Structure 1
């Protein structure tokens, strides 16, 4: 910080990002007289002369990197469009990993990453002929201030253009941000909170809509039912899948022996064998033979585990079910549906999310 004049750091602290970017891209005047100093940048010995101007590229590497780390995605994209030197820095995975984690980390899981790898592999194969001919590409990106813009980056000789690497994190971020990439995730209370799906979470393919800051969800078909599409799904109804498995696969439960009354759980359930599983919220209950006295309760020693779904009225066929602690795989029938794998909820955040989605009235 001693390398730069005080008013410059004042600008960084108080100016809007747009003014700051504009100022550092023109010149940085300074009246400070500097002695010989050793930098890690391109210049070994730098001596400031009063009244001279310094380009942003003459800043020490550490200082420039600190500036770039502070920029939001749209500003970082703007920086990448200035020159090839800044472009090579701004598209670095180092900067975009933080942006990816901050905005998309909660709803992007292993399945979404694998889908992206397949996507770029197919695109690379499709475009391989064009790449051999050295054709230039344009990259459309989203801006926070405008709907989207173009980046055209030139190489040093100013006669060629280079495209953004498909396998870069920046490319993935922009594909998500513009809604061009559909990715797998899960949606709570699907189909706008349809009464038949309250307190459940189902797999879907999602596409982001930057105009509304919401998502379009595409639920897979099953049986005679066609693809169902839901619009305007908010962020708070989304999550990454807790397991990297198909929605038709049974989850192997490894928590059955530790379940006790009062534990919060999710259980796979499907209406029939053609349907995909959804995850449904419930709690571990006491067995009917138990007097619910904590000092004498031995429900945790029984081979049978009672599960309760308190969103349904007492006496409803959906209110309670039991599973075998040691031999449970999938249990049920065509009338009541099929109960699959169980996962114990240990995170307060997950439990509070389910309780926040609790229906306003008891379900029949």
Structure 2
């Protein structure tokens, strides 16, 4: 190395002496930058090597002195076993998995910062699937999952970016094949990327985005706008975001008609649900249960005030025809083409109390005065029925 330096300096002196004083080409500044980087790295490596040699020499001297002292004291001192500290990584594989499986999300995040080995283990999807299902399973549906995939893909595109400009890539690639400048490309690329980034498509990343409130996802809100009387016993589509400070949600309702975007804060968990169907809020839901509806069945039906409004899902029950006395032994309402729907939250005689739909001819029905009725879904789950009854208004609506 010393011979290289001694022979290299005269070459530089002769080169600069016989070069004509002409304007430097455009690539000269880049070569100067490479030269500065080379000598800076070379000096850094030289100092580091000398330092390592001194540390190694000191270590060897201390080991030899300690060994000689042990030999002198060997006849008078009994040999004792050295105590070895045991870490969590020394545990059997099954025991370690059981411990990690008992940790909370915060515990997994803290454990992931201990070492690279634990980091990879604590980010495993199978550890986060349980936490995702326990906390978010009731409000996350298939539509939200598809939106998350699009969201994570867009983040990859925006963050995947270029390491440097095209010009920088060209001259780095040209010189990277020549030693000792091969380190230059790797150092620049590594410095531009975050160390050990969290995969955007991992369940842990999805969970943390939900927890932080950064990801707004589609869901439905019961009795929207703080239980406004015009929305009692209904459930409307919204985009919601979690607020971990209050353990509630922000709900953002899309604009419709002359109304602008409405944002409701402080929405409790029990007022949120995952959309039961994938039908968009402005589309008619295709019913597949009309032939199976009988008096007493619990249903949800699409309803909107006018054509500009989105549909909301409203709770009701199937009633009897006016010609039927309600006797279950003589009732033939299920054979009729007309289905009577009852909304018992309204007073008897109210125009909102009863409605009829055609069992055979499925289409949107209604008018600008009474609103428009859309698709119907039959409720089979006792949990869904109990959820609607829990939202029942304290007073009968007019």
TM-score by length of structure 2 reads 0.72
Look up the match of 1:207. Answer: 241
Equivalent residue for 1:83, pick from 115, 120, 124:
115
Deviation at 1:195, TM superposition (A): 0.2
Note the residue ranges of structure 1 that are not aligned, 5 or more in a row.
1-48, 138-160
Name the SS for the 2:239 alignment partner: strand
Structure 2 spans left out of the alignment, 5+ residues: 1-80, 165-188
Rounded Cα–Cα distance in structure 2 between residues aligned with 1:234 and 1:194: 15
2:310 equivalent in structure 1: 276
Give how far 1:130 is off: 5.5
Equivalents in 1 of 2:321, 2:344: separation in Å?
15
Farther-moved stretch of structure 1 (288-297 vs 186-195): 288-297
Helix, strand or coil at the partner of 2:160: helix
CA deviation string 1:108-137 (max 9, x = no partner): 001101111111111111111157844344
Calculate the aligned-residue CA RMSD, in Å.
1.3
Equivalent residue number for residue 149 of structure 1: none
TM-fit CA distance, 1:58: 1.1
Task: Kindly report which structure 2 residues correspond to 1:255-270, keeping only aligned pairs within 5 A, or say none.
Answer: 255-270=289-304
User: 1:200-239 residue pairs with structure 2 within 5 A?
Assistant: 200-239=234-273
Offset at residue 54 of structure 1 (A) = 1.6
TM-score of the superposed pair, with normalisation by structure 1: 0.79
| Residue pairs, 1:140-155, within 5 angstroms | none
Q: 1:171 to 1:131 in 2, by over 3 A?
A: farther
Larger Rg: 2
Runs of 4+ in 1 over 4 A off after TM superposition: none
Q: Which has the higher strand share?
A: 1
| Higher percent of residues as helix | 2
Hey, what does 1:164 align to over in structure 2?
198
Deviations 1:314-338 (A, max 9, x none): 1111000001111122110111100
Instruction: Identify which of 213, 216, 223 aligns with 1:179.
Output: 213
- The match for 2:98 is 66
The answer to whether 1:346 aligns with 2:376 is no
What is the deviation of 1:306?
A: 0.3
| Pairing 1:325-340 to 2, within 5 Å after superposition | 325-340=359-374
In structure 2, the partner of 1:123 is 155
Report the number of matched residues.
293
How far apart in 2 are the matches of 1:73 and 1:329?
A: 47
